[in-house]
């Protein structure tokens, strides 16, 4: 089975050289939903998103001048150049990235499969209808994902993960298939290493299919089935951050896409129904207490560790970060300082040298630790610019703006409450398409 999965990913990479642009983006959509854990073991950088990104860029090399010209004309290219500079600064200040192979790895991880992703959809999608192949791919992928999720829920075992990681020992982020069989709080992983990534991709797809339904790109039946699949993952991934981000993202989408007066009454009815149903939901006190604990400013000590994902925990983590960068404020301690030098990459908290850092569940704290103030500024300018562009172009297409703005806020919230995990690739893939559509419509209005 493992060899067939690897050959399938290889086949998708070959298709990148044969298909039209919008179908290449559809391959990306399928891969971020179903192939997060897939790795081609017989080639370097064989993870699906890395391999497919390299294939996409390779397939577009004959037209690279035309693509760069488009990015320059739409003012996206300077933003990409800024992140290339940020990656260069990171390489110079990272002790573990001084050899050619490690620098190449940094380029692939930080650029090809991260910040360059916004360009992939940007050059391919110029109207909502061009997302149609992506909706088809995402719909099939969601069905497959949910089947594995249901199997995972029934058996308490993520079989897909164990298939893909045969012979590989899982680290802290590699939540292997049997990890939650005996756990106090069971989480459905479906086809993802980390259940948080499962929940996050379901948030994005829920908003994306709402966008498709409003633009009449997908049928009502497909919309409802997709929403069921997404809600299944959002609820059963067992992450309160995912639930909170979904609520925020959906409310922002609805607020921006529709008349507030029209939806205020409906929203009020939904809120009342939810509150009235609380007494009839089994173990509701258990779930509500999880949200209440998130706002606890105290810390919970376990020996020398500080536990509990709460405000108190974040204060302790931030203080620890400041201690480690006291002599490296500008550029931080370098890429992978947390996982290698502080020992988090071996077995997570068990081998972590500074227990106050725990999992460092915040992208800004991780940036501050490893890239310093300069790295934080690069990140803030990048996402701040995307927010500014989306807001500036909001009047040209309210549905596309609603999706774009909601996605950005969901990402910012998720990444600062759990860490980035694998959230950047699918987010920037969608953002790239949304921004291109908004920019194209702005030019139509000006003419």
Distance CA 240, CA 48 (A): 28
Token look-up 């179903």 returns 34
Rounded to two decimals, what is the model's pTM? 0.88
The arithmetic mean of pLDDT across residues 225-248, rounded, is 94
pLDDT top residue among 186 and 426: 426
**Percent of the chain residues topping a pLDDT of 90:** 66
Average pLDDT, the chain: 86
pLDDT top residue among 13 and 180: 13
39: helix, strand or coil: strand
Return the pLDDT at 303.
36
Token look-up 């596309």 returns 400
**Percent of the chain residues topping a pLDDT of 70:** 82
The arithmetic mean of pLDDT across residues 375-379, rounded, is 97
Return the pLDDT at 227.
96
Please state which of the ranges 33-37, 61-65, 301-305 shows the lowest mean pLDDT: 301-305
User: How long is the chain?
Assistant: 447
Question: Which residue from 43, 38, 117 is spatially nearest to 83, judged by alpha carbons?
Answer: 117
The DSSP code for 66 is: H
> Would you put residue 283 in left (φ > 0), alpha (ψ -120 to 50) or beta?
left
pLDDT level of residue 71 (50, 70, 90 thresholds): very high
What residues does 306 pair with on adjacent strands?
A: 301
Q: Please state the domain extents for the chain.
A: 1-261+392-446
Return the pLDDT at 263.
62
How many helices (H) and strands (E) would you count in the chain?
19, 2
What stretches of 52-123 adopt beta strand conformation (E)?
none
Return the exposure string of 50-67: e unless at least 16 CB atoms fall within 10 Å of the residue's CB, then b. bbbbbbbbebbeeeeeeb
Q: Following DSSP, what letter does each residue of 216-261 receive, concatenated?
A: T-S-HHHHHHHHHHHHHHHHHT--HHHHHHHHHHHHHHHHHHS-HH
What residues does 47 pair with on adjacent strands?
A: 39
* Angle, CA 177 vertex, CA 174 and CA 180 arms, to 5°: 90
Token look-up 């992208």 returns 363
Confidence check: pLDDT of 189 > 60: yes
Q: How many CA atoms lie within 13 A of 263 on its CB side?
A: 11
What tens digit of pLDDT does each residue of 110-126 get?
Answer: 999 999 999 999 999 99
Through-space distance between the first and last CA atoms of the chain, rounded to whole angstroms: 55
Distance CA 119, CA 71 (A): 8
Return the pLDDT at 266.
64
Exposed, middle or buried: residue 366 (CB in 10 Å: 0-12, 13-18, 19+)?
Answer: buried
Both tokens assigned to 175: 């939540």
What residues does 301 pair with on adjacent strands?
A: 306
Confidence check: pLDDT of 290 > 70: no
């Amino acid at each position: 089975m493992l060899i067939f999965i690897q050959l399938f990913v290889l086949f998708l990479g070959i298709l990148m050289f044969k298909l039209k642009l919008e179908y290449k983006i559809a391959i990306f959509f399928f891969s971020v939903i179903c192939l997060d854990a897939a790795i081609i073991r017989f080639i370097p950088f064989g993870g699906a998103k890395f391999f497919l990104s390299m294939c996409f860029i390779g397939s577009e090399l004959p037209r690279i001048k035309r693509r760069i010209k488009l990015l320059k004309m739409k003012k996206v290219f300077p933003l990409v150049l800024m992140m290339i500079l940020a990656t260069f600064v990171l390489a110079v200040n990272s002790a573990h990235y001084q050899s050619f192979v490690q620098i190449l790895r940094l380029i692939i991880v930080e650029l090809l499969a991260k910040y360059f992703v916004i360009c992939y959809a940007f050059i391919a999608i110029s109207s909502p209808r061009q997302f149609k192949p992506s909706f088809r791919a995402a719909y099939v992928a969601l069905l497959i994902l949910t089947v594995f999720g249901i199997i995972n829920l029934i058996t308490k075992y993520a079989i897909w993960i164990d298939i893909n990681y045969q012979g590989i020992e899982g680290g802290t982020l590699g939540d292997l298939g049997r990890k939650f069989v005996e756990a106090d709080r069971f989480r459905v992983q479906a086809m993802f290493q980390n259940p948080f990534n499962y929940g996050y991709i379901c948030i994005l797809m829920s908003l994306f299919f709402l966008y498709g339904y409003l633009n009449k790109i997908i049928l009502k039946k497909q919309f409802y089935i997709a929403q069921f699949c997404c809600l299944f993952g959002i609820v059963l991934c067992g992450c309160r951050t995912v639930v909170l981000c979904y609520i925020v993202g959906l409310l922002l989408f609805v607020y921006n896409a529709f008349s507030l007066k029209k939806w205020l009454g409906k929203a009020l009815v939904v809120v009342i129904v939810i509150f009235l149903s609380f007494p009839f939901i089994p173990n509701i006190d258990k779930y509500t207490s999880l949200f209440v604990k998130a706002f606890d400013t105290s810390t919970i000590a376990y020996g020398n560790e500080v536990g509990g994902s709460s405000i108190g925990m974040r204060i302790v983590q931030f203080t620890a970060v400041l201690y480690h960068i006291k002599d490296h404020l500008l550029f931080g301690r370098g890429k992978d300082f947390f996982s290698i030098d502080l020992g988090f990459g071996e077995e997570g908290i068990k081998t972590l040298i500074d227990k106050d850092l725990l999992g460092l569940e915040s992208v800004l704290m991780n940036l501050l630790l490893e890239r310093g103030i300069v790295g934080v500024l690069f990140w803030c300018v990048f996402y701040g610019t995307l927010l500014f562009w989306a807001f500036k172009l909001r009047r040209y297409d309210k549905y596309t703006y609603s999706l774009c703005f909601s996605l950005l806020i969901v990402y910012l919230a998720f990444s600062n409450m759990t860490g980035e995990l694998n959230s950047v690739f699918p987010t920037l893939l969608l953002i790239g398409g949304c921004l291109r559509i908004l920019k194209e419509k702005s030019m139509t209005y000006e003419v």
